[in-house]
A = this chain, B = another copy of it.
Amino acid sequence: MKIIILKENLNAGLNIVGRVAGKNLTLPILNNILLSTEQNFLSLSSTDLELGIKYWCLGKIEKEGSLTVPAKILSSFVNLLPEKKIEIEDKNQTLYINCENNKTQIKGLDAKDYPIIPKIEDETFVELDIAPFCEGLSQVVDFAAINQARPELSGVYLNFQKDRVQITTTDSFRLAEKTLYFEEKINKECSLILPQKTARELVNIFSEKTGKLKLHFSPNQILFEYPMAEMQRPQIQIISRLIEGDYPDYQSIIPKKQEARVVLFKNELLNQIKTASIFSGKGNEVKVKIDPKKKEVEIFSQSPELGENRAILKGEISEESKELETVFNYRFLVDGLANIKSSKVIFELNGEDGPAVLRPEGDNNYLYVVMPIKAT
């Protein structure tokens, strides 16, 4: 292998591919990145056996070949090089890198020993706009269940219907759902559960990018493909296993009506929940009280050791609202509000025991359901 490549090209690829490599103790070669020549490209690959990433960099290929080298060493090293041409060559399982007055050798491992990242040969199933897809994922990804007792809840549920995809997570204390509509209807309906880690990496890798992401499926894997600028070929492929199992029928959890409904300024509510949290003690309990007669929303918290906090917020309370009090874990309210982008938020409550809902005002495509802390 002998390649001449610009530092910025190689660096861009390493920043992406390096995200997956480098955390495996039992199979040390997984700490490495696989470099291979493919026609006019240097391809970089990494995998943790659940999630694989492949990236193609344009370069001048003088001699074909392949080698794996430690991801962390290569990435940190290339990152510090000047913005110049880099010459890469392999000899005796060592990578020789020359750049200006800098001569470096990095010891590698045989490319033959690197695990094969599976391929999905299926037709493209759907193309998604990157920006709303990443935003949608980021608005729900944190609420997948950490507990692995029900593996299907540990992932992000993608439910493709003819005209939309619904992206959902729940840890059974709260549930977030984002709906994205397609410009053109798709032919078949299907659903799948993406590992949370894959969803997080998609957001990390693509949220600054523009354009479309192609999705391909196999029964237990998914491929996300991002095209190279002005070329009919991929620049980035992300291939991930899917989580097996049936996602619960969560629609029945989303309340269809409410006992009280109020529209509040989002930042004012968020700030007041944070203020109340200082006095909420170990139970994280914050009480929300709606008083339609006084037209007041009260946020209250107290702890015998610390003291108490009471605030009245201005809000538009819907006419048919009942007077009620509900106690929440303040963290769950903060988490939901942090994912609402509009300046006003709709807060629908259902008494002491019923699930409450937070929605951005003027946007029906996101909702966050949160269970109260039951009165004891």
Contact = CB atoms under 8 A, between A and B. Distances in A.
Interface of A: 70, 73, 76-77, 80-81, 94-95, 101-107, 271-272, 274-275, 278-279, 305-313
B106 A306 contact: yes
10 contacts: A73-B306, A80-B271, A80-B274, A81-B275, A102-B275, A103-B309, A103-B310, A104-B309, A107-B305, A107-B307
Contact of A310 (B73, B102, B275, B306): B102
Contact of A104 (B104, B307, B312): B307
Contacts of A311: 101-103
B107 A309 contact: no
Contacts of A309: 77, 102-105
Given A104-B310, A105-B307, 12 more contacts: A73-B279, A73-B307, A80-B271, A80-B274, A81-B275, A95-B307, A102-B309, A102-B311, A104-B307, A105-B308, A106-B307, A107-B307
Given A70-B306, A306-B70, A307-B94, A275 B77 contact: yes
Most chain B beta-carbon neighbours within 10 Å: one of A80, A95, A272: A80
A348 to B, nearest CB: 23
A278 B77 CA distance: 7
Nearest to A70: B306
Contacts of A274: 80
This chain: copies in complex: 2
Nearest to A108: B307
Nearest to A104: B309
Nearest to A313: B101
Contacts of A104: 279, 307-310
The 4 closest A-B pairs by CB, nearest first: A101-B312, A105-B307, A106-B307, A102-B311
A81 B271 CA distance: 8
Nearest to A304: B107
Nearest to A299: B102
A206 B305 CA distance: 34
Contacts of A278: 73, 76-77, 80
Contacts of A313: 101
A259 to B, nearest CB: 24
Contacts of A70: 306
Nearest to A76: B278
A24 B142 CA distance: 35
A311 B81 CA distance: 11
Nearest to A96: B307
A77 B310 CA distance: 12
B306 A80 contact: no
A80 B275 contact: yes
A369 to B, nearest CB: 26
A105 B311 CA distance: 12
Contacts of A308: 104-105
A297 to B, nearest CB: 10
Contacts of A271: 80
